Amino acid sequence: MTGWPRMLRRGLALFPAFGILTGLFFMPIALLLAVSFWSVRSYRLVPGFALDAYARTFSFYGPLFISTMLIAAAVALLCVVVGFVFAYGARFRSGRYGDLFILATMITLFGGYLVKIYSWKAILSANGILNSTLLWLGLVDTPVSWFIFNRGAVIVALAHFLLPFAILPIYSALRNVPDITLEAARDLGASPWTTLVRVVLPQCKAGLVAAFAICFLSAAGDYVTPMFLGGGSGIMLGQFIVSEFSTRFNWPVGAAMSFSLMGVSALVISAIWLAVVGRRG
Amino acid sequence: MSIDVLAAGEAARPPLLRVSGVTKRYGAAVALHPIDLEVREGSFTAILGPSGCGKSTLLRLIAGFAEPSTGKVEIAGRDVTRLGPENRPTNMVFQGYGLFPHMSVAENVGFGLSIARRPRREIDQRVTEALALVRLEEFATRRISALSGGQQQRVALARALIMRPLILLLDEPLAALDLKLRQAMQTELRRIHRETGGTFIFVTHDQSEAFSLADNLIVMNEGRIEQAGVPQDVYMRPKTLFVSQFVGDTNILPGIRRGDHVELALGARFSSPGRQGQTTFVLRPEALRLDAATPGDAGHGGTALHGTIDEMLLLGGEARITLSIGNGETLVARLSDPRDGEAFRTGMKVTVSWAEKALIEVGVAA
Amino acid sequence: MTKLDELLSRVRLDRRSLLAGAAATVAAGALAEPRRARAATTLNWMGWQGYDSPLKQGTFLADNGIDLATTYIAGNEEIITKLQAGGSVDLATIYFGHVPIMVGADLIEPIDESLVPDLGKIFPRFLDVDSIRHDGKLYAVPFTWGTLPMVYDPAAIPEAPTSWKDCLKDEYKGKVALTDDISGLISTWSQIVTGTKTPTRLTKAELKETVDFLIKIKKEHARTFSPNYGEATDLFARGEVVISAIGWDAQVGFADKKGKKLTYVLPAEGAMAYMDTIVIPKNAASRDLAYKALAQAVSPKAQAVLAAELTQAVVNSEAVALVDDANRAIYQYGNLDKLLERAKFNPFWPAEDDGTHATYDQVQDEYQRFLQA
């Protein structure tokens, strides 16, 4: 009479939320996971259990996998460093305008993604702003061609796009660092650098790792930026996931690549979390 | 552990802390009017005042977190006005403590020595001593978040004391604690001051805290020092109406001096030569004596008035009695032994008297 | 046109590209059912985005009570997959090379020629292509076509190149456009590298040789590797490239809209021609409407929309009078025989392994090696 009817009612009340989560999130992912073990014969998916798709992911795409991880790590690191400098300035050097600065960075997100990529093309290309400036200043005689269509251009553009996503968690972590801990450190004789390294950074490391994780995951899965700015050398795994899914119609390999990318990214981020934040959080 | 005490014996040594002509402006706003202040070595000084009176600003100027607009701060004879807190022989216990949440208790306490690159062995030993001083030996490896408010307060104390500051500064050190803990910490602070023999300056808005801890009291109001001196003296002989009101309860008695006599608004008249015209006297409630005796008997060389008891409050340790004297004037009396109050009832007619020396003239009320 | 509109339209225009929205389109195509009809009858159409605009010309949809449900593709194979899975499609546009695969899998029906009045006006050259016929019956109606010639900048190269190898000259190092186009690149360059006559029938050794050579072009000659022809056109417009290792005749039209004068040449070694066709699936639910739509799509007025909106070529001879001069200059409708002598409709790559020739799957694998290089 007592216990379980109430539990049932509670369960029913939870059902819509649970249902939406299951339907919109877990179901497609579970389906994709199943497909990664299937195979394709003459444009038809054949259910089964084969690891061929994973074998292809790590052999044929192995080197690209590693270079994609390295690009993502470089982007994330760049975002965390620049994002920290910005967030630190907004938190400790801007008085009451700090929140306003953060709001301003959020507004840049409205510009959208493709527009940013095209802006970088306009900046870095042969007749772009950067080359025009260098030519005008007389620093170069002919336009510099290596600004664009390589790995560096991909890293710069991705870092620029993802920077606001790094600033937010770092800023919110810095907001939780009490001003008096900084004053206390100074009072005890710490230089600004020592205060930064031993008092500020350790207090916001969860925010730093969160920023790294967001940027790393977004960069690792990106395929549009390398397509437009990467040229031959700046290619990334995401482009090939797209082509496996669409032009080759090899869903198993596409799915296996997606899951491998997710899995390896999760491993990288967990390792960094454990190393930086530790188990105590 | 002990503070490095300067060798005694040199005659006419300057006070440990001398603040001279210090002002602080923020734009057009004046936080501190010219302040002059001396604190001798080994004292336990309280800076007391209501919020916004400039007492925290003064403390931060002494610590080096702010630079004065004009004036000079000297510690042990050395001009430190332009030095930052990291270069001053002072350490601070912050309001809210400012402990490092990512470090253990021992790491917090050892932080200052660690960045001064002292040898590991020395750090360990001094941390142990400092924790023993604040009675937290067992807590060395705890995380800060696992400590109670009082324990955190003591970690903050140890973290500052381990640096052996010439002056220890405390900003509202007990404000965050509940009453019981506050009383216990007052005892602790007195003990630690005694054991270290150091010079402590603390800021508070709580007069009872100031009185229970300090041997030197500085009362501030609106960016100025109203009165400085031994606490009992400040209480007994307030120089201004503000001090008399802020330091304990008081009866304010306006009056007019004509010739050698003063006539108070509530009717009493007594001999007191001085500046002619309007003036104000203050009278502590405990200086009032009540008698159920017949009117007209004013026998102890003081002043006596007739009054009616309006209200009686029995507050456990004392009794507060509000009297109406006539022409709308009231007086508050305090009987420190509540048993004395048992003789009185609301509505009773009584005789009020006080010793003349209990009346303190504070000049014309603003 | 704002910058953003221009961006979006570019993304939409490029038919053979890995588009920004490709994955999204795949997902949407696979998961979303076509929207429901209200009062009108639903016609399920599948094909490249933009290829549906001829159907929207005039009052055709309203006159026939058609509620057009479009599913845009990111690759021709999606149509085959969808039909094999039993999906409902009434009408689809597909690359002519895929038609035999669909016939073989019994997915499409022979065209009832009596229901396509304009069939007689379609240039015979296109109706004669082998792949769209089987056992003497027509299975697909030509819809649009084009060539993959060498596009170049006449301002930088006054004298027209004559050979594909001209783009490998030292003076053009780092100024060569190279675009992501598997069929175009491999079938064009295999003729030069291996001397094969049928570039879609390569031995595995020939395929490898071709891809090795393409890798050399990518590394030593190309300015960059463009994801689609729109991007390559941009490179021309900005003066970063002057010649191409593969091109698309429509680029001349794209560039013209941006105010950049480009031109193309069909080099002596030959080039690839392509044709997109309209097919009617066997299980088409609205077969009558599908035929009406097919007839509309190849009618002169509808074909003119294709030329005006997408700078694509028309197949209907009567539509030639309705297109602009620029379109006529690019596609040289009066000179088709000569044009198609140099630009060939190659059969599609072998789907199954015949022992000697590389299959489409193997071609794709090799191509991915090229992409990763």
User: Domain coordinates of chain B in residue numbers?
Assistant: 2-245, 249-361
Rounded distance between C-alpha atoms, residue C317 and residue C120, angstroms: 9
> Is A239's Cβ below 8 Å from some Cβ in C?
yes
- Residue that wins the pLDDT comparison between B17 and C258: B17
Residues of chain C with pLDDT under 50: 1-38
**How many whole angstroms separate alpha carbon A196 and alpha carbon B223?**
34
Kindly state whether residue C308 falls inside one of the protein's structural domains: yes
Q: Do chains C and B touch (3 or more CB pairs under 8 A)?
A: no
CATH number 1.10.3720.10 given to A55-276:
yes
Interface check A144 vs C, CB under 8 A: no
Q: How many helices (H) and strands (E) does chain C have?
A: 15, 13
Nearest Cα residue in chain C from A46: C85
Q: Where is average pLDDT lowest: A1-5, A91-95, B288-292, C164-168?
A: A1-5
Longest dimension (CA), chain C: 64
Candidates A216, A222, A220; CA nearest to A260 is A220
pLDDT in tens, C309-326: 988 999 999 999 999 999
Can you give the pLDDT at residue A126? 86
Question: Is A125 near chain C, with CB under 8 Å?
Answer: yes
Are residues A126 and C240, on separate chains, in Cβ contact within 8 Å? yes
Alpha-carbon span C66 to C56, nearest angstrom: 10
Tell me if B102 and A190 make a contact (CB, 8 A cut-off).
no
What residue in A sits closest to B115 (Cα-Cα)? A190
Residues C141 and C177 in one domain: no
Using alpha carbons, list the distances in angstroms from residue A253 to A54, A247, B205, C74, C291.
7, 12, 72, 17, 38
The reply to whether C344 falls in a domain is: no
C341 lies in some domain: no
Residue C364 falls inside a structural domain: yes
C-alpha distances out from residue C311 to C50, C135, C326, Å: 11, 34, 9
The beta-carbon neighbor of B115 closest among A180, A183, A188 is: A188
Higher-scoring residue by pLDDT: A177, A94: A177
Nearest CA of chain A to the CA of C321: how many Å?
36
What total number of domains does chain C contain? Answer: 2
* CB neighbourhood size of B265 (10 A): 15
pLDDT of A50:
92
Distance CA C244, CA C356 (A): 31
- Test A189 with B63 for CB contact under 8 angstroms: no
- For range B191-199, the mean pLDDT: 94
Tokens representing residue B75 in the block? 């510690």
Q: Higher model confidence: residue B317 or residue C365?
A: C365
Question: pLDDT value at position C258?
Answer: 87
CATH number at residue C309: 3.40.190.10
* Residue of chain A with shortest Cα separation from C79: A43
Taking the domain B249-361, which CATH number applies? 2.40.50.100
Are residues C17 and C66 both part of a single domain?
A: yes
CA distance A122 to A182: 43
H-helix or E-strand containing C339?
helix C336-342
> What values do phi and psi take at B270, rounded to 5?
-150, 165
Q: How many CA atoms lie within 13 A of A84 on its CB side?
A: 20
Residue C73 and residue C112 in one domain? yes
Distance from CA of C369 to the nearest CA of A (A): 9
Residues of C with CB under 8 A from a CB of A: 3-4, 7, 11, 18, 20, 22-23, 25-26, 74-75, 77-78, 80-81, 84-85, 101, 105, 174, 182, 218-219, 222-225, 227, 231, 234, 238-240, 351, 361, 364-365, 368, 371-373
Q: How far apart are CA B61 and CA B241, in angstroms?
A: 28
Span B2-245 CATH architecture: 3-Layer(aba) Sandwich (3.40)
Query: Domain range for residue C200?
Result: 147-272+351-372
Residue B352's beta-bridge partner residues?
B290, B305
Pick from C198, C262, C201: which is nearest to C230 by CA?
A: C262
Nearest CA-CA distance, residue C81 and chain A, Å? 5
Chain B environment of A183 (Cβ under 8 Å): 65, 85, 92, 94, 98
Q: A188 and B65 in contact by Cβ < 8 A?
A: no
User: Do C105 and C154 lie in a common domain?
Assistant: no
Sign of CA dihedral C289, C290, C295, C296: positive
pLDDT grade for A89, boundaries at 50, 70 and 90: very high
A181 at B interface, C-beta within 8 A = yes
Average pLDDT for A92-106: 88
Q: Are B158 and B130 in contact (CB under 8 A)?
A: yes
pLDDT reading at B343 higher than 90: no
Which residues, listed in sequence order, are joined to residue B45 by a DSSP beta bridge?
A: B201, B216
Q: What was the pLDDT predicted at B12? A: 53
Please report how the helices C360-372 and A237-245 are oriented relative to each other, as an axis angle in degrees rounded to 10: 160
How many Å apart are CA A217 and CA A169, to the nearest integer? 15
Task: Give chain A positions within 8 Å (CB) of C348.
Answer: none
Q: What value, to the nearest 5°, has the Cα angle with vertex C320 and ends C318 and C325?
A: 160
Q: Are B96 and A178 in contact (CB < 8 Å)?
A: yes
**Residue B86: closest CA among chain A residues belongs to which residue?**
A189
User: Three-state DSSP class for C194?
Assistant: helix
Q: What pLDDT does C77 receive?
A: 85
pLDDT value of residue C94? 96
CB C285 within 8 A of CB C89: no
Give per-residue burial for A100-136: e unless 16+ CB within 10 Å, then b.
ebbeebeeeeeeeebebbbbbbebbbbebebbeebee
Specify the pLDDT at position C39: 60
In this complex, which of B90, B98, B102 lies closest to A184 when CB atoms are compared?
A: B98
Residue A67 has pLDDT above 90, yes or no: yes
Look at A188 and B159 and tell me if their CB atoms are within 8 Å: yes
Of B65, B91, B96, the CB nearest to A188: B91
Asked whether the beta carbons of residue C26 and residue A245 sit closer than 8 angstroms, the reply is: yes
B324 vs B113: CA distance, rounded Å: 63
Using the Cβ of A176 and the Cβ atoms of chain B, whether some distance falls under 8 Å is answered with: no
How high is the pLDDT of residue C32? 41
Looking at residue C35, what is its pLDDT? 43
**Nearest CA of chain A to the CA of B102: how many Å?**
6
Structure token digits, residue B96: 């809210």
Residue-averaged pLDDT of chain A: 90
Q: What is the pLDDT of residue C24?
A: 37
Residues of B numbered 159-218 whose beta carbons fall under 8 angstroms of chain A's beta carbons: which are they? Answer: 159-160, 163
Portion 252-271 of A in contact with C at CB < 8 A: none
DSSP conformational letter for C350: P
Long-range contacts from B140-143, C-beta under 8 angstroms, 24+ separation: B140/B104, B140/B105, B140/B106, B141/B104, B141/B105, B141/B106, B142/B104, B142/B105, B143/B101, B143/B104, B143/B105
Which residues of A fall within a CB distance of 8 Å from C231?
228
C206/chain A closest Cα distance in angstroms: 21
Q: How many CB pairs under 8 A join A and C?
A: 95
Q: Which residue has the higher pLDDT, B310 or B317?
A: B310
Q: Do A226 and A238 contact (CB within 8 A), yes or no?
A: yes
CB C99, CB C141: distance < 8 Å: no
A190 and chain B in contact, CB less than 8 A? yes
Distance of CA C49 to the CA centre of its chain: 12
Q: List chains touching B (3+ CB pairs under 8 A).
A: A
In a domain, C152, yes or no: yes
- Both C263 and C287 in one domain: the answer is no
The helix/strand/coil state of C75 is coil
If asked whether residues C288 and C301 sit together in one domain, one would say yes
DSSP sequence for B290-326: EE-SPTT---SSSEEEEEEEEEEEE-SS-EEEEEEEE
On whether the CB atoms of residues C192 and C269 are closer than 8 A, the answer is yes
Q: Which residues of B touch A194 (CB under 8 A)?
A: 115
| C136 shares its domain with C154 | no
Look at A105-119, B36-50, B145-159 and tell me which has the smallest mean pLDDT: A105-119
* Whether B65 contacts chain A with CB within 8 A: yes
d(CA C184, CA C247): 8
Domain locations along chain A: 55-276
What SS3 state is found at B198?
A: coil
CA-based nearest distance B278→chain A, Å: 49
3-state helix/strand/coil string of chain A: CCHHHHHHHHHHHHHHHHHHHHHHHHHHHHHHHHHCCCEEECCEEECCCCCHHHHHHHHCCHHHHHHHHHHHHHHHHHHHHHHHHHHHHHHHCCHHHHHHHHHHHHHHHHHCHHHHHHHHHHHHCCCCHHHHHHHHHCCCCCCCCCCCCCHHHHHHHHHHHHHHHHHHHHHHHHHCCCHHHHHHHHHCCCCHHHHHHHHHHHHCHHHHHHHHHHHHHHHHCCCHHHHHHCCCCCCCHHHHHHHHHCCCCCHHHHHHHHHHHHHHHHHHHHHHHHHHCCCCC
pLDDT score recorded for residue A204:
95
What local confidence, expressed as pLDDT, does residue A41 receive? 81
Q: Is the dihedral of CA B342, B346, B352, B358 positive or negative?
A: positive
CA separation for the pair C142, C135 (Å, rounded): 18
pLDDT in tens, B87-140: 999 999 999 999 999 999 999 999 999 999 999 999 999 999 999 999 999 999
- Which tens digits make up the pLDDT trace of C59-105? 999 999 999 999 998 788 889 988 988 889 999 999 999 999 999 99
CA distance C113 to C277: 14
- In chain A, whose CA is at the least distance from the CA of C353? A42
Measured CA to CA, the distance from residue A253 to residue C336 in angstroms comes to 42
**Looking at the complex, does the CB of residue A203 fall below 8 Å from at least one CB of chain B?**
yes
Distance of CA B60 to the CA centre of its chain: 17
Lowest mean pLDDT among B195-204, B351-360, C117-126: B351-360
Query: Under an 8 A CB cutoff, do B63 and A188 touch?
Result: no
E-strand stretches of B40-100? 44-48, 70-75, 78-79, 90-93
Domains B2-245 and B249-361 share a fold: no
Judged by CB atoms closer than 8 Å, whether chains meet at C224 and A43 is answered as: no
CA-nearest residue to B95 within chain A is: A180
User: Which amino acid belongs to residue C333?
Assistant: Y
* pLDDT range class, residue B293, cuts 50, 70, 90: low
DSSP 8-state class, residue C281: B
* pLDDT at position B172: 92
| ipTM topping 0.90 | no
